[in-house]
Structure 1
Amino acid sequence: MAEDPLGSQWKTLDRDLNRISQLEMATAYVSRPMIGLGVSFAFILLAGLAVIFWFGGDEHTLIVAAAAAFGAYMAINIGANDVANNMGPAVGANALSMGGAIAIAAICESAGALLAGGDVVSTISKGIIDTKAVEDGQVFMWAMMAALISAAMWVNLATYVGAPVSTTHSVVGGVMGAGIAAAGLSAVNWPTMSAIAASWVISPVLGGVVAAMFLAFIKHNIIYREDKIAAARVWVPVLIGIMAGVFATYLSMKGLKRIVKIDLQTALLIGLAIGIVTYFITRPLIHRQSEGLENRNKSLKVLFGIPLVFSAALLSFAHGANDVANAVGPLAAIVHASEFGDFSSNVAIPMWVMVIGAFGISFGLFLFGPKLIRMVGSQITKLNPMRAYCVALSAAITVIIASWLGLPVSSTHIAVGGIFGVGFYREWHMERRLRKVPGTLPEVKTIAPIERRRRKLVRRSHFMTIIAAWVITVPAAAFMSAVIFTVLYWFAT
């Protein structure tokens, strides 16, 4: 039978349309990163232009505008890198979708920065540089500009290679490098730098130990019990009460500085009261939620899901309140020096500076955050709601302990250290179960030694990349800052 000419034409048309669809999909895939870069560039440009319009014809307008643009660039990088530590575990545990995590983080980070962000910031980043060593206001402004640029560039590079690094440590390195270039090694407060270097080890180890201890507690008291649901009804309200108390203490100390100053003892009493109230509120709710659930581990994940979402939101709020001010500190210092012609160890942060920080974080999180959120949440070690809950709780507890001890710590190091702690504890526990005494632990399938090494529960490649990035953050940011300061000062003079 002869082929229908009309049918042949339809087939040709279908093939052509399919090629066009594939071309459109490929174009969209290739252009997607360019959209993010375009939006980021527009926001950075808008921040600079807004400052020019705001300050008018002041002699330092161009310097402040440039600083505002780089401050916006820094804020975008904070959103792309730092915020992943708060939302990654919740996304990796499937308690939140990527879209939900980005929406919650953007709202809570911005609210923390604008409502409870510190109204005073140490412009020399906690006393790293002696102000007497940099007496010229012009030199000081260029040093802060170099610190801001180098910190933003370093965080940008770390995000590109998939390494969560400390924004605060990047700023510290930038300030130190610019200070050395401006006034020599004697300008640096080396005892403070030694304490910060010690925190590279203390922060992740403490966070990992606390997270592992909570996971061990959950395994022993809930997961390995014969009646898991009955055990969960007893202990999950206790754990939620602990979470509420810890975050109440954390936010009282760190997130409400603009509203009221609260000492550690008062914050602990507030946390204790809120923890007890939360326990009695959640106990009947957990009992009702657990009715009809099967007696297996999958059912336990349901009970930890909502508390995990709340903990991620609270971490984001506290991060916005506490860390954003440190990140925009150099910008605030430049604004202060341009307005008053001098500089001091502490200056007020103008609201427009905090707005740049808040909006920049939201843009960075939305446009570039998913990469680091996926890495932190699922590529270091496998997380479920119980493990992710341990990480979030560990982050808040470790910050409180560090504040009590007076240690300068990084929220990034603590959160990622908590994930490492959970993963390494699971490895140790698996080995223990393989070597178990009969009847003491649940049985596990015997695995050949070679296969056991291949199945390590913490991915060593990510572990080494992150540790290396942590170690070189301060010296790398310092070196970049020194070079940038030298170039800026040479052009300025």
Structure 2
Amino acid sequence: MEFPEDYLWMVIVGFIIAFILSFGIGANDVANSFGTSVGSRVLTLRQACILGTIFEMLGAILIGYRVSDTIRKGIIDVEMYNNGSEKVLTVGNIATLTGSCVWLISATIMRLPVSTTHSIVGAAIGFSLVARGTAGIKWIKIGFIVGSWFFSPILSGAVSVLTFMCVNKIVLQKDKALESGLKLLPIFYGLTAAINLFSIFYEGSTLLHFDKIPLYGVFIITFGISIIVAIGVRYLLVPWYRKKISDDCRERIRKFEEEGKIDDDNATELEQFNVTEDVPEIEDNSEETRVKTRENITDKPEVAKLFSFLQILTAVFGAFAHGGNDVSNSIGPLIAIWLIAKEGTALQTAATPIWILVYGGVGMVIGLWVWGRRVIKTVGDDLTKITPSSGFCIELGSALTVLVASNIGLPVSTTHCKIGSVVFVGRVRSKANVDWALFRNIIIAWVVTLPISGAISALAMFGLQKLI
């Protein structure tokens, strides 16, 4: 593809900065998908990276283009730049990428999970204020997006808490928790499959022609496959899970017996080693009390193994949702740069190129492998104690919120959703289970993200204007 000579440098610089931004998104936001799974010891960091590589890419390709349209054309009125000012909009998108990139990399160095959506929207506002003042900024749209940033963590937290309360009542507190959990396993898998399938096929990939499937066809495919999944889980996986988990628990009992930690009369009772889920409320939130409280929060052995399988599924669910929602933050402005240079118009009428979505996805995956462990530790270990059962509820609630938002084209913050769920569920377990000082620092980082990224973008725009 040949571009006009005066646009070529813009395209090259845009691709470079967008890749660095994608790297930062992978390093920072990956904790939203796998932080809880690594924190609960369900997955190792390496396993999380492998699964993240696969499903972040799938999410970016299958559903990423919808939110990318919102990012590149829904925040700034591009028509203002369509009469001889196309270059201004092009360098403005470069400034947007720059502002978001610098702040996101800085936050990752500080191990703080911040919103890449906050960052990219703030950066877009920053360049627009320099280029056109307050004119052309879609304040109503931005207000709607900002409102979703406050709404999404509350909604995500509420969904996760309700899920945890239900799981706690009908599974965790039961004398035969394993059997109760196994009965619900087909429902959990079927529900998760239904949500994923609907998000894929409803107005889905143009490359795979999923966008041509009528709504009734989407429902038939979604519920048909989900029912098959539930039946398969019920008659194939549940018996296997029951045998495997029971054998593992009996092996644990045998080791305890050999070490002389239990009486022979009780050695066959699985419940002998069940640790209660109920943790008394403690007002003292000192470091010593918080550590002691976290040590007391654990799952029953058989329940931990049951929810370990489910948490892997929901982690994959979260990675898919994250790839679909957050790839737009790095490639939305890049697509605008590419299409403006290609078409010569600011209206960007062509569809989002799939290969650019892949490009953004690759950058996120590399960031995940190289720097992902930094923020994963903050979310998975430092903020609160996470067990497989609570991790499943956290991931299901937050992923559902993000995935629904992706399908309606609303770029909500995956960070806000996941942190909201982590804190809500952690608080339900015990007040002393949450590191409130760390949570305060995260909130501060959220508040300053938009103005800082906006200021950096504005400075970049001020300098770039002199080059056109």
Smaller-chain TM-score bracket: 0.7 to 0.9
Per the TM alignment, residue 91 of structure 1 is displaced from its structure 2 partner at its CA by 0.8
**1:283 Cα shift?**
2.1
User: Does residue 254 of structure 2 align to residue 251 of structure 1?
Assistant: no
| Distance in 2 of aligned mates of 1:401 and 1:79 | 21
Match of 1:479 in 2: 455
Say if 2:184 is the partner of 1:216.
no
Distance 2:455 2:350 in 1: 26
Q: Is residue 100 from structure 1 mapped to residue 76 from structure 2 by the alignment?
A: no
Note the alpha carbon deviations across 1:302-352, whole angstroms, 9 max, x for none. Answer: 112122212222322333234313421111111112222221155433455
Q: How many residues align?
A: 412
Conserved 8 A contact 1:154-1:170: yes
Report the CA distance shift for 1:477/1:118 in structure 2 as closer, same or farther (over 3 A).
same
The answer to which of 251-260 and 337-346 deviates more is 251-260
State the Cα distance separating 1:222 from its structure 2 match.
1.0
For residue 234 of structure 2, the aligned residue among 283, 308, 312 is 283
Question: Secondary structure of 2:433's partner?
Answer: coil
Counterpart of 2:122 in structure 1 is 173
Partner of 1:356: 359
Tell me, yes or no, if the aligned pair for 2:66 and 2:407 is still in contact at 8 Å.
no
Distance 1:204 1:265, change over 3 A: farther
Query: Does residue 158 of structure 1 match 2:107?
Result: yes
Task: Give 1:133's aligned residue.
Answer: 80
TM value normalised by structure 2: 0.81
Question: 1:120/1:347 Cα in 2 relative to 1: closer, same or farther (>3 Å)?
Answer: farther
Q: Could you tell me which residue of structure 2 aligns to residue 462 of structure 1?
A: 438
Q: Which residue of 2 aligns with 1:447?
A: none
* Letter in structure 1 aligned against 2:456: M
Question: Contact 1:308–1:388 (CA<8 Å) still a contact in 2?
Answer: yes
Note if contact 1:254-1:318 (Cα within 8 Å) is conserved in structure 2.
no
For residues 66-465 of structure 1, what are the structure 2 equivalents within 5 Å?
66-114=13-61, 117-118=64-65, 121-122=68-69, 125-135=72-82, 136-253=85-202, 256=205, 258-259=207-208, 260-261=210-211, 270-284=221-235, 285-291=237-243, 292=246, 293=249, 294-295=270-271, 296=274, 297-344=300-347, 346-399=349-402, 402=405, 408-427=411-430, 456-465=432-441
Instruction: Answer whether contact 2:325 2:402 (CA < 8 A) is retained.
Output: no
Task: Report the alpha carbon displacement of residue 55 of structure 1 after superposing the two structures with TM.
Answer: 4.7
Q: Is the 8 A contact 2:340 2:348 kept in 1?
A: no
User: CA 1:365–1:127 in structure 2 vs 1: closer, same or farther (change >3 Å)?
Assistant: same
- 310-319 vs 398-407, which moves further: 398-407
For 2:355 and 2:221, the matched residues in 1 are separated by 32
Cα 1:376–1:254 shift into 2, 3 Å: farther
| Distance of aligned partners of 1:305 and 1:328 in 2 relative to their CA distance in 1, 3 Å threshold | same
CA contact (8 A) 2:178 2:306 kept: no
Amino acid at match of 1:465: N
Give 2:11's aligned residue: 64
Give the residue type in structure 1 aligned to 2:382.
Q
Q: 2:372 & 2:147 partners in 1: Cα distance? A: 29
| Structure 2 segments unaligned to the other structure (5+ residues) | 250-269, 275-299
Deviations 1:209-232 (A, max 9, x none): 111111111111111112222222
TM-score by length of 1: 0.77
Show the counterpart of 1:40.
Answer: none
Cα pair distance change 1:397/1:121, threshold 3 Å: closer
Deviation of 1:399 (Å):
3.3
Change over 3 Å in CA distance of 1:362–1:236 after alignment to 2: same
CA contact (8 A) 2:130 2:461 kept: yes
User: Does structure 2 conserve the Cα–Cα contact (< 8 Å) formed by 1:116 and 1:257?
Assistant: no
Contact 2:145–2:412 under 8 Å retained in 1 = yes
Separation in structure 2 between the aligned mates of residue 263 and residue 172 of structure 1, nearest angstrom:
33
Secondary structure in 1 matching 2:65 = coil
Give the secondary-structure state (helix, strand or coil) at the position aligned to 1:188: coil
- Partner of 2:93, secondary structure, is helix
Task: Give CA deviations for 1:19-61 in whole Å, capped at 9, x if unaligned.
Answer: xxxxxxxxxxxxxxxxxxxxxxxxxxxxxxxxxxx75883322
User: How far apart in 2 are the matches of 1:182 and 1:56?
Assistant: 24
C-alpha deviations, 1:428-456, integer Å up to 9, x for none? 6xxxxxxxxxxxxxxxxxxxxxxxxxxx1
CA distance in 2, matches of 1:256, 1:353: 14
For the Cα contact (< 8 Å) 1:120–1:348, is it kept in 2? no
Structure 1, residues 137-188: CA drift from partner, whole Å, max 9, x if none? 1111111110011111111112112221222232111111111110111221
Higher relative contact order (CA 8 A, sep 6+): 2
SS in 1 for 2:336: helix
Relative distance call for 1:398 and 1:472 in structure 2 (3 A) is same
Structure 1, unaligned stretches of length 5 or more? Answer: 1-53, 429-455
Q: Is the Cα–Cα contact under 8 Å of residues 134 and 140 in structure 1 kept in the other structure?
A: yes
AA partner of residue 161 (structure 1): M
Shift in alpha-carbon separation, 1:120–1:470, aligned structure 2, 3 A:
closer
Rounded Cα–Cα distance in structure 2 between residues aligned with 1:159 and 1:253: 34
The change in CA–CA distance for 1:123 and 1:423 in structure 2 (over 3 A counts) is: closer
Q: Percent identity?
A: 31
Structure showing greater radius of gyration is: 1
Amino acid at match of 1:473: T
